Structure 1
Amino acid sequence: MPSESMYKVVIHKAGAYERLKLETHRVPKPGDRQVLIRTQAVGVNYADVCVRWGVYASARRFVGWPITPGFEYSGWVEEVGREVKHVKPGDPVFGVTLFNGYSTHVCAPADLVWPKPQALDFEGAAGFLAVHLTAYHGLLQNVVIRPGMRVLVHSAGGGVGSALIQLCKLHNLHVTGVVGRSHKVEYVRQLGADAVVDKSTQSLWDEAKRLCPDGYDLVFDANGPETLAQSYAHLRPTGKLLIYGFHTLLPKQSGRINYLKAALGMLRMPRFNPLSMTSGNKGVVAFNLSFLFARTDLLHAAVSDLTTWVEAGIMQAPKVRSFALADVAEAHRALESGETTGKLVLRTAPPFFSASVYEATVRRASAPDR
């Protein structure tokens, strides 16, 4: 019998960690083409942090305040609409949702829900789709690839970077990963990277040039103004710069944006001139997965391939670090630190919180760094 109430994280106003409120709400009733899922785990992505700050474009356009972050989940089907045939109550599933993921229950469009791969446990499945769909769309739906192409991947130890490294090697590309912390080097090598640049101990662009003197065919960059200009400069003729985020545009302190530094970052944002791009024979591609949810044809093609590869054991899910749903503030703090590798997820199956633990967590996460 479906539950009557659920817990979800709600943000009523932009801000720091204290804006993440755990609330009780009624469980929604699925429509004819919807599926109600009792979640077991939900993925945490950098986009969720941007939602909390109030700077995520699709959140402003599609939802506004209040909002529940979260784009991906795994769990059990609890109820289906009358037109849903591919899953039934009791089935283990995973899927994507346009927000509302940080919850014990998700009511999702049926065409964005898929059977969970047997090769993934619930936590692994919850952290799989957002990063792998982003990587797949960038590499396999935006550009034409050929074996032997040279690829540079920034933030290679993160979720999307981990997926990109594996997809590149699966398609016989030569890939160099860039990391910002030395403890991430071995992790990226184990994923299959041909070379790793540790920019905490090496000159990033000197090393990138040494490794590939003629320039890269593809550069994947979610950093923003810190690296975009040089990423473009290090493309070879016919090369493509693929942009899917602007992390360094949003420097923060104790969970808050430093708006002065953000404004200075905007001034440093490179402007790509179509005339110079034409004469240099280079291109720029930019995309955001949250604006792609209407293209179910692309999503289904990607999920079909990704599921096949993970079931066959030729692609692995990122390593996962999990937090209780009540510890969502700690999860955001960890993600913002830049120290993590792989994916972070929130456990939503009970028992997942107590009120006292939740309040203590928010106080700890909101405390100034010492």
Structure 2
Amino acid sequence: MPSGSMQKVVIHKAGGYEQLKLETHPVPKPGEGQVLIRTEAVGVNYADICVRWGVYESARRFVGWPITPGFEYSGWVEDVGREVKHVKPGDPVFGVTLFNGYSTHVCAPADLVWPKPRALDFEAAAGLLAVHLTAYHGLLQNVVIRPGMRVLVHSAGGGVGSALVQLCKLHNLHVTGVVGRSHKVEYVRRLGADAVIDKSTHSLWDETKRLCPDGYDLIFDANGPETLAQSYAHLKPTGKLLVYGFHSLLPKQGGHINYLKATLGMLRMPRFNPLSMTSENKGVVAFNLSFLFPRADLLHAAVNDLTAWLEAGDIRVPKVRSFALEDVAQAHRVLESGETTGKLVLRTAPRFSASANEATVQGASAPDQ
């Protein structure tokens, strides 16, 4: 790779894995209040797949095409702009970025860059923030919690679900995790869940009712129309449904959106009536991490707590599976399969050929699995 150049994944139009292009671009210069990071690893999230499909709202609103996905990274400070005091060149850091993460270099606002926790290696650090900030914001910045509250966490074996289970147990809540594959049951139990429902072998809502007949105080649901209505129905009075995604609107594998399925899913999306919610004394809270980036005050509070809990051993780092940056298509394919637990990350240490300005990412044209 030429001096002063970097490699990044670029998507020029919506589509499947073939749209993931590895390109060479100039390394940006940090402006005032910015930090240039040479990344070691970057996190992979389901939101990145939605960016590739062209259906992620903040990507359409703030960037458009072309776009480089990626919200989180870890690496080394390479340069800083004026007025940046808390980090300096050579420091190990991690942080969040509004896109542009799938790259060997990231230029990020200084207030979204933090010293890397000593307890984490670079891959674990790269996979920490997106899921843990989502879990933290949902549990600790949106509702008032009290010890002993009953919580149901859908997709408890995934990134956000794993973080939610641990944060709930740290705050003495009773947690039931829901998983869709039997091999995830023991993983969620080890995270501390008091009960685990395997919906591939048991009736989800029968088990939900059996385990907590009076209803749940909090239910975390990113499934969408597949479960939202029943999640709301299984709240107790004063309960809250927290919504942070709509995965069942979109296919889990295959690389392309099934638009018929998405349309049918939209028609099945529940409507929550404020009059009914008032008389039932239930609430719905919905949020998206990418629209939270302007609230650096909330993010700093979350990172400070999360770092302290990690250093004290109160929460465990997520299980991480890593791929080379050029294997980004395979990482997307694996994440879409629904078989993963923990987090996926891309290793971004330089290991690329600079013989061509652009290449289709390895595996992008391979047959769907």
Structure 1 length as normaliser, TM-score? 0.97
Deviation at 1:361, TM superposition (A): 1.7
3-state SS, counterpart of residue 261 of structure 2: helix
In 1, Cα distance between equivalents of 2:353 and 2:186: 35
Deviation at 1:197, TM superposition (A): 0.2
Aligned to 1:13: 13
Q: Does residue 92 of structure 2 align to residue 92 of structure 1?
A: yes
**Contact residue 20 and residue 361 of structure 2 kept, 8 A:** no
Aligned AA (1:240): K
Aligned AA (1:233): A
In 1, Cα distance between equivalents of 2:167 and 2:252: 31
**Contact residue 156 and residue 177 of structure 1 kept, 8 A:** yes
**Contact residue 329 and residue 362 of structure 2 kept, 8 A:** no
Residues 294-334 of structure 1, C-alpha deviation per residue, up to 9 Å, x if partnerless?
00000000000000000111111110000000000000000
Aligned to 2:48: 48
Aligned to 1:269: 269
Change (3 A) 1:354 1:186: farther
Aligned residue-pair number: 366
Any residues of structure 2 matched to 1:141-220 within 5 Å, and which?
A: 141-220=141-220
**Contact residue 324 and residue 352 of structure 1 kept, 8 A:** no
Q: Does residue 360 of structure 2 align to residue 362 of structure 1?
A: no
Change (3 A) 1:245 1:359: closer
Deviation at 1:368, TM superposition (A): 3.5
Any residues of structure 2 matched to 1:22-101 within 5 Å, and which?
A: 22-101=22-101
Aligned AA (2:124): G
In 2, Cα distance between equivalents of 1:284 and 1:276: 12
3-state SS, counterpart of residue 22 of structure 1: strand
In 2, Cα distance between equivalents of 1:252 and 1:354: 33
Aligned residues: CA RMSD: 1.5
Deviation at 1:82, TM superposition (A): 1.7
Q: Does residue 279 of structure 2 align to residue 316 of structure 1?
A: no
Aligned AA (2:49): V
Aligned to 1:344: 344
Change (3 A) 1:86 1:253: closer
Aligned to 2:303: 303
Deviation at 1:32, TM superposition (A): 1.2
Change (3 A) 1:359 1:85: closer
Deviation at 1:252, TM superposition (A): 5.4
Aligned to 2:112: 112
3-state SS, counterpart of residue 264 of structure 2: helix
Residues 275-304 of structure 1, C-alpha deviation per residue, up to 9 Å, x if partnerless?
100000000000000000000000000000
Aligned AA (2:206): D
Aligned AA (2:300): H
Deviation at 1:360, TM superposition (A): 4.5
Residues 320-360 of structure 1, C-alpha deviation per residue, up to 9 Å, x if partnerless?
00000000000000000000000000000122579899655
Aligned to 2:242: 242
Deviation at 1:362, TM superposition (A): 1.7
Change (3 A) 1:353 1:129: farther
In 1, Cα distance between equivalents of 2:174 and 2:165: 9
Structure 1 unaligned spans of 5+: none
Deviation at 1:118, TM superposition (A): 0.4
Structure 2 unaligned spans of 5+: none
In 2, Cα distance between equivalents of 1:201 and 1:233: 22
In 2, Cα distance between equivalents of 1:199 and 1:184: 11
Q: Please, which moves more after superposition, 352-361 or 84-93? A: 352-361
**Contact residue 324 and residue 353 of structure 1 kept, 8 A:** no
Change (3 A) 1:253 1:319: closer
Aligned AA (2:368): P
Aligned to 1:128: 128
3-state SS, counterpart of residue 75 of structure 1: strand
Deviation at 1:171, TM superposition (A): 0.2
Higher relative contact order (CA 8 A, sep 6+): 2
Q: Please, which moves more after superposition, 308-317 or 149-158? A: 308-317
**Contact residue 27 and residue 105 of structure 1 kept, 8 A:** yes
Off by >6 Å, runs of 4+ in structure 1 = 353-358
Aligned to 1:230: 230
Aligned AA (2:231): S
Change (3 A) 1:352 1:317: farther
**Contact residue 152 and residue 216 of structure 2 kept, 8 A:** yes
In 1, Cα distance between equivalents of 2:29 and 2:183: 46
Q: Please, which moves more after superposition, 251-260 or 184-193? A: 251-260
In 1, Cα distance between equivalents of 2:77 and 2:87: 8
Aligned to 1:333: 333
3-state SS, counterpart of residue 318 of structure 2: coil
In 2, Cα distance between equivalents of 1:264 and 1:19: 26
Aligned AA (2:234): H
Structure 2 length as normaliser, TM-score? 0.97
Residues 108-150 of structure 1, C-alpha deviation per residue, up to 9 Å, x if partnerless?
0000000000000000000000000000000000000000000
In 2, Cα distance between equivalents of 1:307 and 1:280: 38
